[in-house]
Amino acid sequence: APALRARAERLGLADRVHLVGETRNPWAYMAQATVLALPSRTEAFPNVIGEALALGVPVVATTCAPGIREYLGGGRCGVLVPPDDPAALADALERVLRDPDLRARLAEDGLREVQHFGLGPGVERYERLLEEVIRA
Task: Output the average pLDDT for the chain.
Answer: 89
pLDDT reading at 120 higher than 60: no
Is residue 102 helix, strand or coil? helix
20 band by pLDDT with thresholds 50, 70 and 90: confident
The percentage of the chain sitting over the pLDDT mark of 70, rounded to a whole number, equals 93
The CA-based angle 27-25-103, given to 5 degrees, is 10
Q: How confident is the model over 63-88, as pLDDT tens digits?
A: 998 889 988 989 999 999 999 999 99
- Note the pLDDT of residue 61: 97
- Note the pLDDT of residue 121: 56
> Using an 8 Å Cβ cutoff, are 50 and 68 in contact?
no
> Using an 8 Å Cβ cutoff, are 70 and 86 in contact?
no
91 band by pLDDT with thresholds 50, 70 and 90: very high
- Note the pLDDT of residue 1: 77
Give the chain's largest Cα–Cα span: 49
89 band by pLDDT with thresholds 50, 70 and 90: very high
What CATH fold (topology level) applies to the domain 33-135?
A: Rossmann fold (3.40.50)
* CB count in 10 Å sphere of residue 126: 15
Per domain, the residue ranges of the chain are 1-30, 33-135
